């Protein structure tokens, strides 16, 4: 039990380049896929498919896709920023502003062409990528907006992430592959049927360098827990 909790506490996103020559062993990949297989899903619908991309040429084609600039993301991201470690420790939520370029750290964001390369740079390298797709036409019974189905896809992500971390394999979610223009390109490359959508993608691999230490914060249990009624302590 303590080992499982430690695994959850140590889990983090590996955003640095992975060694594309260090392949994921088949037995380890199978364990990650087995973790996905046993994910709890609403009504046991198992409404997901996983495409494993290991072919070097296909990977390079996907990794070179330019990421779109989302002004909505940048503006809404501002509300989650802290401008010092002291502020972050006090809030217990969000991330440090120093993780982003200067123009992203202002409330009235305007695209700075000098920083365009930061947004348009290719994805970091890897030797394996997982593309998780689902059929939005299917939904869990009486689930408005398929809320329960979306939760299920999150459970798929978490199961695979924890298994990868337990095996010493870096895991990095690529949410921008789900952006409309990028998704269209990925679907063409991988011949994904038109009726399916990309829920999320992830890079798997072994980081080329050690991830720098960064401040991680979480709310205390008493900050989000109530007993017997909302607000009951």
Q: Over the stretch 123-149, which tens digit does the pLDDT of each residue have? A: 788 999 999 999 999 999 999 889 999
CA 4 to chain centre: 20
Q: pLDDT tens digit string along 166-208? A: 999 999 999 888 888 899 999 999 999 999 999 999 999 999 8
pTM, rounded to two decimals: 0.90
| CB environment 37-53: b (16+ within 10 A), e (fewer) | eebebbeebebbeebeb
Please tell me the predicted confidence (pLDDT) of residue 115.
Answer: 54
Tell which CATH architecture fits domain 16-66+122-208: 3-Layer(aba) Sandwich (3.40)
Please tell me the predicted confidence (pLDDT) of residue 63.
Answer: 86
Which residue do the tokens 């593309």 mark?
A: 131
CA–CA gap between residue 156 and residue 164 (Å, rounded): 12
Please tell me the predicted confidence (pLDDT) of residue 112.
Answer: 62
CA–CA gap between residue 8 and residue 19 (Å, rounded): 24
Please tell me the predicted confidence (pLDDT) of residue 113.
Answer: 60
Average pLDDT of the chain, as a whole number: 90
**Residues of the chain above pLDDT 70, percent:** 94
Q: pLDDT tens digit string along 5-51? A: 999 998 888 888 899 889 999 999 999 999 999 999 999 999 999 99
In angstroms, what is the C-alpha Rg of the chain?
19
What does the domain layout of the chain look like in residue ranges?
A: 16-66+122-208, 68-120
**Residue 59, pLDDT above cutoff 60:** yes
Please tell me the predicted confidence (pLDDT) of residue 180.
Answer: 84
Three-state SS for 70-135 is CHHHHHHHHCCEECCHHHHHHHCCCEEHHHCCHHHHCCCCCCCHHHHHHHHCCCCCCCEEEEEEEC
């Amino acid at each position: 039990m303590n080992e499982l909790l430690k695994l959850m506490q140590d889990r983090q996103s590996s955003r640095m380049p992975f060694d594309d020559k260090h392949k994921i062993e088949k037995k380890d990949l199978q364990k990650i896929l087995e973790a996905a297989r046993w994910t709890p899903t609403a009504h046991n619908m198992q409404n997901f498919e996983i495409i494993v991309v290991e072919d070097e040429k296909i990977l390079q084609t996907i990794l070179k896709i330019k990421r779109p600039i989302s002004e909505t993301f940048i503006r809404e991201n501002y509300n989650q920023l802290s401008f010092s470690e002291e502020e972050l420790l006090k809030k217990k939520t969000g991330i440090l502003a120093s993780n982003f370029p200067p123009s992203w750290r202002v409330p009235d964001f305007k695209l700075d062409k000098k920083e365009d390369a930061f947004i348009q740079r290719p994805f970091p390298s890897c030797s394996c990528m997982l593309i998780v797709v689902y059929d939005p036409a299917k939904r869990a019974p009486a689930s408005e907006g398929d809320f329960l189905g979306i939760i299920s896809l999150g459970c798929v992500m978490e199961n695979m992430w924890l298994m990868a971390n337990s095996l010493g394999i870096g895991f990095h979610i690529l949410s921008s592959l789900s952006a409309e223009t990028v998704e269209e390109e990925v679907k063409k490359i991988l011949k994904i049927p038109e009726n399916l959508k990309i829920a999320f993608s992830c890079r798997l691999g072994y980081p080329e360098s050690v991830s720098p230490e960064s401040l991680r914060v979480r709310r205390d249990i008493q900050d989000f827990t109530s007993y017997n009624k909302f607000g009951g302590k």
